[in-house]
Chains A and B, each alone.
Chain A
Amino acid sequence: MQFMLLFSRQGKLRLQKWYEAHPDKVKKKITRELISTILARKPKMSSFLEWKDLKIVYKRYASLYFCCAIEQQDNELLTLEVIHRYVELLDKYFGSVCELDIIFNFEKAYFMLDELMVGGEVCETSKKNVLKAIAAQDLLQEVSYGDTAYEL
């Protein structure tokens, strides 16, 4: 996978993860182009489109679009599966996730994605394991918060 974007129906970017290095300008350009292309598509259309030499796989969940760019030989259905897995994870973690959860806890959303994927490849397919890892890290974080409090 080359990158993953999350954006709202209004075209606001909510999350972006790039597994291939691009200069910021290029990133912005790609994002803008893709958002407008995808938002222009009708709901009855398929989730795939060819874009330059990449394939774009996107899916809409409520007001959020999840959009991934993959290479020509990659499996589109598998990518949809990854997106779905990620949404399920977010849902489990936040408890029926909504756009606001992701806006206000965007770092958590990133951490979750990092557990699911590393360098653009699926790392952990078990939802349970991902949630376990995240929970453990959150715990660790709270412990350190405790330290900070003590420091005061």
Chain B
Amino acid sequence: MALRKVKGNLERMFDKNLTDLVRGIRNNKETESKYISQCMEEIKTELRQDNLAVKANAVAKLTYLQMLGYDISWAGFNIIEVMSSPKFTYKRIGYLSASQCFHQDTEVLMLTTNMIRKDLNSHNMYDSGTALTGLACFISGDLARDLANDVMTLLTSTKPYLRKKAVLLLYKVFLKFPEALRPAFPRLKEKLEDPDPGVQSAAVNVICELARKNPKNYLSLAPVFFKLMTSSTNNWMLIKIIKLFGALTPLEPRLGKKLIEPLTNLIHSTSAMSLLYECINTVIAVLISISSGMPNHNASIQLCVQKLRILIEDSDQNLKYLGLLAMSKILKTHPKSVQAHKDLVLQCLDDKDESIRLRALDLLYGMVTKKTVMEIVRRLMTHMDRAEGTMYRDELLQKIILICSQNNFQYITNFEWYVSVLVELCRMEGTQHGGLIASQLMDVAIRVVAVREFTVGQMALLLDNAHVIVGPAAARSSIAEVLYAAAWICGEFSQLLANPKATLESMVRGKVVSLPGHIQAIYVHNMLKLYAHIIATAEEEDDSEMIEEVTNLLLERLPVFVSSGDLEVQERASCIVHIVTYVQKCHKHGDKVGADLALLMTGELNPVAPKAQKKVPLPDGLDLDAWINDPPSESEEEEDDALEKEIFVKADSSYKHRKEKYEPSEEELQKLRDARRAEQASNPYYVKSSALSSPRPNHNSIQVDEIPVTAIDLNVSLKIPGMTSLDKYQVVDGWQDGGKKRHKKQKKRSKRKGQVSSSSEEEINRMHVVNTDIGEMPEGAHLSDDYEIDDRPEDDPHRALDINLDEPLSPNEVLPTRTHYEAHAQRKIESNNEAKLIPSEIPLKMKTRNKKERKEKKEKTKKVKKEEKKVKKKPSRDANLILDLIDPLKETVISDKVPVAANHINGIADAKNKEKSKSKKTKTKKEKKAKKEKDRDKPEKKLKKNEKEIDTLSRNRDEYEETNGTVTQEVEEKLAVPEPQPYSRLLAEDSHIRIVYSTAAMDGVMSEILVCIKFISQSSKPISKLQLILPDSSALKMIRTPGKLVFETGYRLFPPKEMGMAVFQRKQRQPDPQSELVNLPWSLDPGESKETQLSFTAEDVTIPHKLRGSLSYIQDGSSSSSDISLRLEFPVTTFLSGKTASRATFTDLLSSGQLSARSSFTLPNCPWSFPEVLEELTLGGSLAVVECVDQTASLYGRSLHGHHVCLLVKYQASHHLTIDGKSTEGILLSNALDHLKTTLMQKQ
């Protein structure tokens, strides 16, 4: 052993430490990966050693490597080993490593629960602190559930350092385990008034984070925060509070009104920019929430805007950026006040920082009005010419289009100008927004009838100059899309073309074949449209020359497309070739086919509402899965779909569709159509298009002429094709100005009579009307927003935290506590396996996990004992595997300085055997004892059964299972395991009622003693009007704060030993605080038992106390009340609690020399077995087993006033029991030992 150690240390000297590693990596820059893989090997060897120092060093190195991007997840076990080290140095490294590489799904995390719990409860504040910070990084749902209670306990720690961290960790706990929120919230709220400002601030932080996500549940806290806000000077906290208010105000405008004043004061007074910024943001939020009716409304807006202007003018880029950001928020509700600062925003467009420029752009988007749109767009376009970087220019282009097209072109008064802008934008090289421009062009051409002719003219020009647009740079951009729009517009509105033949020529000419397929297809198809138009006009004018010319032109050029690689192009082209040939043939015969040809193309496009497709109702009797046997109705159905699916861009393909579908049984279709139209007419929800057209070519051929072309007559000169320059539109008034043309021609414009739009509220008249109908909708559908959904993703943890916090807690809302029995059971296990502390937990946990898969995830520790037995009975392959896995863990503990480790040094098999025999032994004993108890408690048992039946529901699951177990077949086994008997003493008994009580020190919670009194009816009649009279003694006082005094717990069987968090429902009737009377608000039915809990404080916890009192009650039927006198005894052990016991602190304590007082006693002839003695000490004496080896155990307890008591219990084979005690307080120790001695003697 010693040799091994020395060897380990020797090796250690040659190990690299972290610094060596870092240095090595820096020195091996070229061969870094090789060097690191070599280091990894070394680390792996180091991890196999027993020496914890070596391991910690290895883990530290791993953590460094992890940062460099190497995977270290394989070392999870080793990290846990290091974490579990009692030495702070190693623990710190372990936790650091864990927080860096563990995450909530890390498998090994489930092994850490108890270790972390131990660290949390450690005496060393920094142990707990390290555990808290680590946990914040890797907490999982299971850990959150299991440790919530321990974190809660730390909230009441005496050290602000821990309270603070615990508060912050709570937030993470809530995220992972939302059920904890309600029971924990009252305590969290208390922390808002913590004496330590850091804790207070942490609580504000947490509540602020919670409230931001689910504000409505935190409205009731507004007054508290308001007070904090007006009183605090801590800027960190103020910011959070103000942010919180920002989240609350949208829900409660009244709060906003109240906030304005203090906030404006802060804005005036503070010099901290971060606070100023937060205030402004919240003021904005307030102003948004208050719709109207604020007198100071404008003043505060002005103040904000002024302050923001200062920020924007600041030389600090950060402030500028934030100023613009906040400005854009104001813009949404108060555009006017922002618009005054247009100059500033435009200035920002020239800023060096792109993000600032983009922010400014965002602002501009909202600042546009009818008056300013032209100027702003002009500035943007000149800016775009200068701007560098395609990305940014693309952004600019997109913004320009967004600015213009927002709200259905709300701000555009002159669409000719807009079309010119769009055409101008086509010149931008390398843009990715060709599609956007194209759709805008088509949108305007279709919806703004008045400028259609102008648009068509411009498009013809675009087609003519296609080679300019699609330059060499076009390959990387999508600008060619513009040609798609141009070709389509020219084809669709060919009747508006000044010179259709020229346009047709420019379409067939040149590099069309080099364009993308879908654009070629559009070209080809629109050639046909143009052709049809030309033929029709030519036939009317008898211009056979023209006919021949265009026909030949097409027949000459189309074959190029027929051989195209693109299927669509090829198909269309070959179809058209045949049509043209056919037309040619007809003309040879002298037939006029122009009108018929034109029929193929006619039809009016109606806008379709954006939601139309979604709203198409499923017709009655339509089964989408079944075959549809009626072809005509099918085609009708499909056609509708096709129409509604496609908005403008692909509209022409539906044309094609239509053409093909056209043939089948016209009359039948007509009938259906008429019926549908009649229905539409009578349907108030159906949006009727203004043109009242049906999509049928033959029906609206007449109506085509009625399309409001009226506006066009305003400007004759428009018919002259030529690209217009934007400049001419800059002269806002008059509109009579000879604008320069980019292409040679000068153009005179006559005075325009603006077409007055009915909605023009501003002085500028709109010149063109946009078709802003919502578009066609399926019959009976509304254009409503009935799609309100929580936009948070399903897995957003905050969704689960949307919990009402104002409702009172119900009894089953408890943090999962380690209940009385569990704690006991665990201690038992610990005592059995102390030397291999962690290994023992692993198989259990593994097993429980298997169980978990089958059953619901619930606290299972209760079953641990049983599980353990199973593992032992059939050491399956599973278990062996697990043992292999944990082997390294076991070694750690051995190398650790456990005084008793020698017993177990031979390995786990040894320990296992021992355990087996031991547990058998204890089992038989237990059985005996259980039987005894059974006999004694027979009446009680019966009662219990009744209780069970009465309200199994109200009890938590564990208890339920537990009690159930006594009935089921598992009885024997259950009884073999010590039942979680409360250590209750008889208080008083008469023929009608039996009263037992138990005590528990509520350490760390409120430093008080909780007395649980249980009333068990033994009478055949109901007992009512129970009244306790318990006068305070000089040293012992009942706590009489309302709400705390008496808790009614209904049917709880066992008093909460560890921490009775919020288990109790508050009683409705509060007793008079001054009186010594406690009225119990319920009555006892026959066979029933109920509990009440009282809290006491003691001035001196080193001496035993007694309290005399009496109970009076009335038995139904009898007129007089009966009295029983009571005597509550509080031996000193009552004031002890072993909750914070851990081996590390225990050894620390013993070695620290603090424990000056010593005392001991011996029982030479103890009839009880060792486990029974331990049980007595832990249950009756409220002590905790720290360590237990064979027949020796050390126990620990801490008094409410912080005295430590340590006991060493030795039990020799000849029933010789020795208990040695050490304590910081002599009187306490001697009293405690006296008490234990008497109880152990009594048992004799």
**Residues of chain A at the chain B interface (Cβ within 8 Å):** 13-19, 21-24, 28, 42, 44-50, 73, 75-78, 80-81, 103-104, 106-107, 110-111, 114-115, 118-126, 129, 133, 136-137, 140-141, 144-145, 147-148, 151-152
Contact = CB atoms under 8 A, between A and B. Distances in A.
Contacts of B90: 144
B92 interface: yes
Contacts of B239: 75, 78
B322 A76 contact: yes
A125 B236 contact: yes
Contact of A126 (B89, B165, B198, B353): B198
A81 B377 CA distance: 39
A120 B89 CA distance: 24
Interface stretch (B271-279, B751-759, B874-882): B271-279
Across the A-B interface, the 5 shortest Cβ-Cβ residue pairs: A77-B274, A119-B136, A46-B317, A21-B103, A46-B321
B354 interface: yes
Given A73-B212, A125-B198, A48 B164 contact: no
Interface in B52-67: 53, 60, 63-64, 67
A13 B168 contact: no
Contacts of A120: 136
A45 B354 contact: yes
A78 B67 contact: no
Contact of A45 (B136, B234, B353): B353
B1198 interface: no
Contacts of A133: 126, 129, 161
B318 A47 contact: yes
User: Which of A15, A107, A119 counts the most B-chain CB atoms under 10 A from its CB?
Assistant: A119
Interface residues of B, number: 69
Contact of B68 (A13, A46, A144, A147): A13
Given A78-B239, A122-B205, A151-B897, 12 more contacts: A14-B67, A15-B67, A44-B352, A45-B353, A45-B356, A48-B318, A78-B278, A107-B92, A119-B168, A123-B164, A123-B202, A140-B126
Given A24-B71, A49-B355, A144-B88, A119 B278 contact: no
B195 interface: no
B956 to A, nearest CB: 29
B708 to A, nearest CB: 45
A26 to B, nearest CB: 11
Contacts of B164: 118, 123-124
B318 A46 contact: yes
Given A13-B67, A119-B168, A124-B164, A144 B212 contact: no
B1012 to A, nearest CB: 36
B1212 interface: no
B209 interface: yes
B55 to A, nearest CB: 13
B1129 to A, nearest CB: 42
A114 B234 CA distance: 21
Contacts of A17: 137
B355 A46 contact: yes
A80 B198 contact: no
Interface of B: 9, 18-19, 22, 53, 60, 63-64, 67-69, 71, 73, 87-90, 92-93, 96, 99-100, 103-105, 124, 126, 129-130, 132-133, 136-138, 161, 164-165, 168-169, 171-172, 198, 201-202, 205-206, 209, 212, 234, 236, 239, 243, 246-247, 273-274, 277-278, 317-318, 320-322, 352-356, 897
Contacts of B202: 121, 123
A86 to B, nearest CB: 14
Contacts of A49: 355
Contacts of A121: 168, 171, 202, 205-206, 209
Given A45-B353, A114-B133, A78 B236 contact: yes
User: Which of A23, A118, A126 counts the most B-chain CB atoms under 10 A from its CB?
Assistant: A118
A45 B126 contact: no
Contact of A137 (B126, B168, B201): B126
B126 A75 contact: no
A42 B356 CA distance: 13
Contacts of B9: 152
B318 A118 contact: no
Contacts of B18: 104, 107
B243 A118 contact: no
A50 to B, nearest CB: 8
A107 B89 CA distance: 11
28 contacts: A14-B67, A19-B137, A24-B73, A42-B352, A42-B353, A45-B355, A50-B355, A77-B274, A77-B322, A78-B236, A78-B278, A104-B18, A106-B63, A106-B64, A114-B133, A118-B132, A118-B169, A119-B169, A120-B136, A121-B168, A121-B202, A122-B201, A123-B168, A124-B164, A124-B198, A136-B126, A141-B88, A144-B88
Contacts of A126: 198
A137 to B, nearest CB: 5
A48 B96 contact: no
Contact of B171 (A23, A50, A119, A122): A119
A141 B94 CA distance: 13
A120 B137 CA distance: 9
Contacts of B93: 107
Nearest to B63: A107
A42 B353 CA distance: 8
A6 B278 CA distance: 27
B133 A118 contact: yes
A130 B355 CA distance: 36
Contact of B92 (A15, A73, A124, A141): A141
A21 B140 CA distance: 10
A82 to B, nearest CB: 9
Contacts of B137: 17-19, 119
Contacts of B96: 107, 110-111, 114
A140 B1148 CA distance: 13
A25 to B, nearest CB: 10
